């Protein structure tokens, strides 16, 4: 009974923290005018989640920690986010072009290749933010690292993507969860999965 009570208490604490993180993500996204705020807010969420999994020597107010991470990651997160946005725009343009152009017998083969590329880019998009939170690297190196991660650990990357997809499906079935946990729930669960696999090296001095 005590174990069950402790489990429910822990679940409630995590749920409350995720809700507060979601509010901060929304607030700081709006603070950056959405266009310049959404990607730093995303990076800040992963920074906080990473610190939660590393453990904390000293308690830090969540709002202060989030604000510090948002400001620190402002330029790098926007560069990374818009790099992936450009990649997605290119893929979607190719899909539209393929749908309107008559390529004959090559059409189905190119369509299949484009689907594979879309899944590959989705997996990269899912893993790049946890990697960016864990490794202090430039945008080109993070893009390359995420691609190599998907190629080198396809099952881990696929399952991480599946975790995000399941959450999105739950949101579709229960739309009321979206304003409560929104972006933060898939971010938390995807990082938690990657952390549980031990593919992310444990730093000697968490920061």
CB 192 within 8 A of CB 17: no
Q: Which residue has the tokens 């995720």?
A: 18
- The pTM of this model reads 0.90
For residues 84-122, b (16+ Cβ closer than 10 Å) or e, as one string? beeeeeebeeeeeeeeeeeeeeeeeeeeeebeeeeebbb
Q: Which of 121, 138, 43, 63 is nearest to 87 (CA)?
A: 121
pLDDT of the chain along its 207 residues, tens only?
555 555 666 777 888 999 999 999 999 999 999 999 999 999 999 999 999 988 766 678 899 999 999 999 999 999 999 999 999 999 999 888 877 776 666 677 888 888 999 999 999 999 999 999 999 999 999 999 999 999 999 999 999 999 999 999 999 999 999 989 999 999 999 999 999 999 988 876 655
Domain edges within the chain: 2-197
């Amino acid at each position: 009974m005590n174990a069950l009570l402790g489990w429910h208490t822990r679940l409630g604490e995590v749920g409350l923290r995720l809700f507060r993180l979601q509010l901060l993500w929304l607030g700081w996204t709006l603070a950056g005018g959405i266009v310049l705020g959404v990607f730093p807010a995303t990076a800040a969420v992963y920074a906080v989640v990473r610190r939660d999994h590393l453990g904390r020597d000293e308690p830090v107010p969540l709002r202060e920690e989030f604000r510090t991470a948002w400001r620190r990651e402002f330029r790098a997160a926007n560069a990374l986010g818009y790099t992936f946005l450009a990649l997605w725009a290119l893929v979607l343009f190719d899909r539209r072009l393929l749908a309107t152009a008559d390529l004959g017998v090559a059409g189905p083969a190119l369509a299949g290749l484009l689907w594979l590329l879309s899944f590959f880019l989705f997996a990269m998009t899912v893993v790049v933010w946890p990697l960016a939170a864990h490794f202090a690297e430039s945008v080109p190196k993070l893009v390359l690292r995420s691609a190599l991660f998907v190629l080198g650990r396809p099952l881990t990357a696929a399952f991480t993507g599946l975790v995000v997809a399941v959450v999105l499906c739950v949101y579709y079935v229960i739309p009321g969860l979206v304003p409560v946990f929104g972006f933060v729930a898939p971010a938390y669960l995807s990082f938690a999965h990657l952390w549980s696999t031990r593919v992310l090296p444990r730093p000697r001095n968490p920061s």
